[in-house]
Amino acid sequence: MNPSNITPEQFAYNQRFLKAHTRFALEGQILKHFLGKTTIAGIYQVIDKTLMIIARQKSNDNQKFLNAEQKNVLLKKGEILDKIDRLTQPPSPKN
């Protein structure tokens, strides 16, 4: 089990959310240009900032998950290399 707080399913969901947020952010820049300084533009800015905060948190969670997975892989690799090393050592002579 990885020490991060998210599961692989949550990681995948976060990735989809971040992809959609990136698209929304690009479309939002165009929309912001056309809205100018209207009330709708103010509401949009609040929504955009909120989504940006959520996206930053999800990105942080995903990075923690990836770091934990990388650590697990490196530990398993080390265990396998230790086993291989022990199996390939010539037997020590008995005195």
- The pTM (predicted TM-score) of the whole model is 0.63
pLDDT at 4: 59
In SS3 terms, 13-55 reads as HHHHHHHHHHHHHHHHHHHHHHHCCCHHHHHHHHHHHHHHHHH
pLDDT at 28: 76
pLDDT by residue for the chain (95 residues), tens only, comes to 444 578 888 888 888 888 888 877 777 777 777 777 778 777 877 887 888 888 888 888 888 888 988 999 999 999 998 888 888 887 777 75
Report the C-alpha gap between 55 and 53 in whole angstroms: 5
Domain boundaries, the chain: 8-88
pLDDT at 95: 57
Report the C-alpha gap between 29 and 77 in whole angstroms: 45
